[in-house]
Amino acid sequence: MTAVVQSAYGLDGIEVGERPVPAAGPGQLRIKVAASTVNPMDWHLATGRPGLVRLVEGFGRPKHQTLGREVCGVVDQLGPGVTDFEIGQSVFGWVIGAFAEYAIAEVDRLWLAPKGITNFESAALPVAGAAAMEAVERGDVAGKRVVVNGASGGVGHYAVQIAKASGAQWVAGVCSSKNAAFVRGLGADQVIDYRLDDFTGERWDVVIDCIGNRVGSEIRRALVADGRWVVVGDHNKNGLLGPLPRVVARLVRWRFGSQSCHWFVQREDSRYLAGLAGLVDEGHVRPHLSETFAVGDVRAGYERIESGRAVGKLSVDLTSATNAELTEMTSEDEPRS
């Protein structure tokens, strides 16, 4: 099968290759992949930055050499003991190796795809959507004034929508002026252009921080007495441990006082998939895809993530037609004897 693979860290190591079609084991499904996405998480795994990634994913080279972590597709094979799904059902969720014609997923990391949206949109839900849902939960936003720092990004654009659906009294989104109309279209009550205004100059019950570019003293000033700072992202991508030392120090310091700081490692829990599917079916959430990349152009998606300028989500087309075209083009490019 055609797959996007990587044998060494760095974007230059990303290439299209061939891999055997995998088989589903106990408690697993095989999915014929229709669509996936490129996420900041994928960029970290591909570049091995910060160094902590290599301690988990392989020091010398990536442990998982077929790229991609979220998917939408059709159930193609059931592993032993799987009874919750049927062959032919459209599903979405987390996998390892989504940038391929077929991928294997654990049964508890999938859910039936929402109705009324495309495969590309469904594939864009698990990673960023679940992170946004958990951030909103930790913010306990019902009836509160909420600001989302980085509202036009992958997690941020979901956080705005989910906060509104969760009963927040007022939701503000921080973004650039060129994305202001987009963020307002998500349902934000207020849009703050970070180049012109400082969101920490106002008072908020909850700050959902998808950027991580403000220091704790600034956030304390912006929060009410019992306010919550929910940290989802961080701008520091380098070093051995990246943002981890700062995050740990911050959590320790914020244990004292009535204001609180919340940081979490995303859980791949199908409860979030079920919640996202429900929000989509009810019309509260709609994924936004700013670009779609063919299999052979996936590296450009990583470069867009690296630029920090991606709006919403970046999707990857894994349909058989695209793969067939790619295989044909690759064959034509090879030297002939």
**Ordered per-residue pLDDT tens for the chain, 337 residues:** 999 999 899 999 899 999 999 999 999 999 999 999 999 888 888 888 877 777 778 777 888 889 999 999 999 999 999 999 999 999 999 998 999 999 999 999 999 999 999 999 999 999 999 999 999 999 999 999 999 999 999 999 999 999 999 999 999 999 999 999 999 999 999 999 999 999 999 999 999 999 988 889 999 999 999 999 999 976 556 554 556 666 777 777 787 789 999 987 778 999 999 999 999 999 999 999 999 999 889 999 999 988 878 899 999 998 853 444 444 434 444 333 2
Query: pTM score, two decimals?
Result: 0.89
Query: How far is it, in rounded angstroms, from Cα 146 to Cα 139?
Result: 9
Spatial distance between the Cα atoms of 56 and 27, rounded to a whole number of angstroms: 24
The CA distance from 39 to 44, in Å, is 9
- CATH number for the domain running over 2-125+287-333: 3.90.180.10
* CB-count burial class (<10 Å; 0-12, 13-18, 19+) for 52: middle
Spell out the domain ranges in the chain.
Answer: 2-125+287-333, 131-263
27, 253, 316, 317 from 322: Cα distances, Å = 30, 51, 10, 7
Kindly tell me the burial class for residue 118, based on how many C-beta atoms sit within 10 Å of its own C-beta (0-12, 13-18, 19 or more). Answer: middle
Helix axis angle for 126-139 and 154-165, nearest 10°, is 50
Degrees, nearest 5: CA angle 278-279-281: 65
Chain-centre distance for alpha carbon 87: 27
CB 162 within 8 A of CB 279: yes
Residue-level pLDDT at 239: 52
Residues 131-263, CATH architecture? 3-Layer(aba) Sandwich (3.40)
